[in-house]
Amino acid sequence: NDNFTVLGEREKTISFSKSGDKLVTFTLQTGMATDTGKVVVRARSGSHQASYAVDLRVIPRNPPVTYVKDQLLAAGTNWQITYQPAGIAGHNRAAIELSNLPPLNLEKRLGYLINYPHGCIEQTVSAAFAQLYLPNLTDLTASQAADIEHHITAAINKLNDFQVNSGGFSYWPGQSEANIWGSNYAGHFMLAAEKAGYAIPAHLVNNWLNFQRKEARNWRIATDADNDLAQAYRLYTLALAGKPEMGAMNRLRKRADLSTAATWRLALAYAIAGYDKQAVELVNNSQNKPLSSAGYDPYTYGSPLRDRAMQLETLLTLGRQQQAYEIILEIANELAQPDKWLSTQTTAYCLLAISQAAGQGIDSEPLQATIKINGRTSTVSSQKYLHRLVLQAPDKQAAIEVGNTGNAPLFVRLIRSGIPLEGNEQAVSRNLIVKVDYTDSRGNRIAVNSLPQGTNFKATVTVTNPGGHGHYHDMALTQLLPSGWEIINTRLDGSGSGSPATYTDIRDDRVMQYFDLPAGKSITFEVLLNATYQGRYYLPAITAAAMYDISVYASIPGRWVEVTTGKD
């Protein structure tokens, strides 16, 4: 069909002098769309004929990109813009966002969470948790509501893969030890989802509650991974479940060295448990203290902005609307910055907190606007914080005009996302060094620009921490491979010598490895490969990064490679 074009001859003649096999090759060129294409091969000899049809998927080899254009419209003014698809047909998405307050960049932020390639307990929960309160924030179509329900249900089902014997949740599936913050966060999500009407398996919640109660009662000395904020969050989840541990809460409250972030979370635990006096006292004593230190916390996956979002939850519960409103504006301004990187934890918690605020009502003017797309006008009148219109034909160019018919300034944003046909990556090295070598079966370095079909070879990637920024936690190395190469998975036949990775995720077209990296140290990963299918394919960029710290990142640009007709 149209997804493939035959280059050169469409018909070839071969002769046999005796029974046997002969190989005949045809060259196909993929189209510009990603879909399943059909190839039909017919053979004819004399009065005999045979045919065979095969479906072949055309898949993109690059990661998605997102572009944002925004405009502040005064009352009674218009904004005209031409929409252009961001990438390959079939993978484009676009939305127009309107807000009377600084926009949340919702389409981009939510897309980042849903499409995030890694899947630890924190990232799995973040993608779903951010969507749980989304109906408070914006009007949803029936299709959008169904998609959200599907995502949340899938995340709930996946939690089974993380729960360990103690009842807590591990960081990666299959690990034996509970992750402290991940167990708090996953339990918080389960309770919120259950309250929202989702079915949570009873054993999942009960085993987790037993784990939380035991950990809460036994906690005495703060450690890096189980610090006072983690204990305060644990106590909050127990209060939220209707099982407050008052003894543990009182012991934590009396600590002279209690951090400000932990104080605010403990205040929320007291408020949920019905002890408003103690909650208010804790908050009043912490009003003028710095909330958290600058930078990323590797044990709670947090940031100063994440801690502000957690603080917002406490203010909303205590009814301190004016203080809450100030934090809402602060968070919205951070989310609105199109090039501002935020981790999955920070993104999700910010969206979660603001959605909860929207559920309590945000004091702002109603949204009044018109949106014209290719001459067809729709009217917007909404009391929601944000209105989002998803373009129904994102693969086609469109003329867009937005008019502000209300009395207040209107923030307008056009968000485009898609997958580019070819990467325009550049080599990047931010506080991290990544290097790749390709070698043959004898250990000799080889160039992979053109490899004979059937060649076995090895990709060796070395990641180095230069040492200027200390120990790196929660690192991810991602190797996407061209469609003409296949991974030789040594884990299946037992021939592998083991990996230094904490967790490895091997799929048909990629290998993702996760690890920590001490200062001044290097770590090396090996992947065995085979040049399997003749043709010209795109080898995507190799990336290594700290999943919660954008300042630690390195990449090797992508390029085109070939698999030729066999060994000489």
- 3-class secondary structure, 130: helix
pLDDT tens for 328-357 read 989 998 998 888 899 999 999 999 999 988
For residue 476, give every residue at least 6 positions away whose Cβ sits within 8 Å of its Cβ, in sequence order, or none.
Answer: 118, 512, 513, 514, 544, 545, 546, 547
CB 371 within 8 A of CB 380: yes
Please give the chain's pLDDT, 568 residues, in tens.
Answer: 778 899 999 999 999 999 999 988 899 988 877 888 889 999 999 999 999 999 988 888 777 888 889 899 999 999 999 999 998 888 899 999 998 877 788 888 998 999 899 999 999 999 999 999 988 888 888 988 999 999 999 999 999 999 999 999 999 999 999 999 999 999 999 999 999 999 999 999 999 999 999 999 999 888 888 999 999 999 999 999 999 999 999 999 999 999 999 999 999 999 999 999 999 999 999 988 888 766 788 899 999 999 999 999 999 999 998 899 899 989 998 998 888 899 999 999 999 999 988 887 655 678 899 999 999 999 999 888 889 999 999 999 999 999 999 998 999 999 999 888 776 778 999 999 999 999 999 999 999 999 999 999 999 999 999 998 899 999 999 999 999 999 998 765 555 567 899 999 999 899 999 999 999 999 999 999 999 999 999 999 999 999 998 889 999 999 999 999 875 4
3-state secondary structure 385-411: CEEEEECCCCCCCEEEEEEECCCCCEE
Structure tokens at 425: 């990556």
Residue keyed to tokens 């973040």: 126
Instruction: Record the tokens describing residue 256, joined without a space.
Output: 């002279």
| Residue from 322, 321, 297 nearest 307 by CA | 297
The pLDDT score that the predictor gives to residue 423 is: 67
Tell me the C-alpha distance between 59 and 49, whole Å. 32
Please give the Cα distance from 482 to 422 (Å, whole number).
Answer: 12
Among 183, 180, 178, 206, CA closest to 194? 206
Q: Is 278 left (phi over 0), alpha (psi -120 to 50) or beta?
A: alpha
Q: Between 121-132 and 142-158, two packed helices, what is the crossing angle to 10 degrees?
A: 150
Please give the single-letter amino acid code of residue 253: R
Phi-psi category of residue 80: left, alpha or beta, with phi > 0 → left and psi -120 to 50 → alpha? beta
10 neighbors 26 (Cβ within 8 angstroms): yes
Phi then psi dihedrals of residue 84, to 5 deg:
-125, 135
Q: Which of 248, 180, 255 is nearest to 216 (CA)?
A: 248
Fold of 428-564: Immunoglobulin-like (2.60.40)
Output the pLDDT for position 561.
96
Type of residue found at 444: N
For residue 315, give the nearest of 275, 279, 290 by alpha carbon: 279
Distance CA 541, CA 425 (A): 7
Strands 398-404 and 456-464, sheet pairing: unpaired
| Cα-based angle 504, 509, 513 (whole degrees, multiple of 5) | 20
CA angle 372, 375, 378 (to 5 degrees): 35
Rounded (10°) angle between helices 304-317 and 344-360: 20
Q: Which CATH class is domain 105-360?
A: mainly alpha
Residue 268 tokens read as: 């929320």
Per DSSP, 297 falls in state B
Q: What is the pLDDT of residue 34?
A: 80
Using DSSP's 3-state secondary structure scheme, residue 378 falls into strand
Long-range contacts of 339-343 (CB under 8 A, 24+ apart): 341/550, 342/109, 342/303, 342/305, 343/296, 343/301, 343/303, 343/306, 343/547, 343/548, 343/549, 343/550
CB-based contacts of 385: which residues, under 8 Å, 6+ apart?
A: 99, 100, 101, 137, 138, 354, 358, 362, 364
* Residues ≥6 apart with Cβ < 8 Å to 256: none
Query: Which amino acid makes up residue 196?
Result: A
Question: In sequence order, what DSSP letters do the residues of 539-557 get, joined into one string?
Answer: EPPEEEEETTEEEEEEEE-
Which regions of 456-502 does DSSP assign to beta strands (E)? 456-464, 472-480, 485-488
The CATH architecture annotation of domain 61-100+364-421 reads: Sandwich (2.60)
Greatest alpha-carbon span in the chain: 97
Neighbours of 29 (CB within 10 A): 11
**Pair 124, 357: CB distance under 8 Å:** no
Boundaries of every domain in the chain? 4-57, 61-100+364-421, 105-360, 428-564
Please state the separation of Cα 354 from the chain's center in Å. 19
Q: Report d(CA 542, CA 461) in Å as an integer.
A: 9
Residue 556: strand pairing partners: 542
pLDDT value of position 568: 46
Report d(CA 523, CA 516) in Å as an integer.
9
Of 62, 64, 10, 58, nearest to 32 by C-alpha is 58
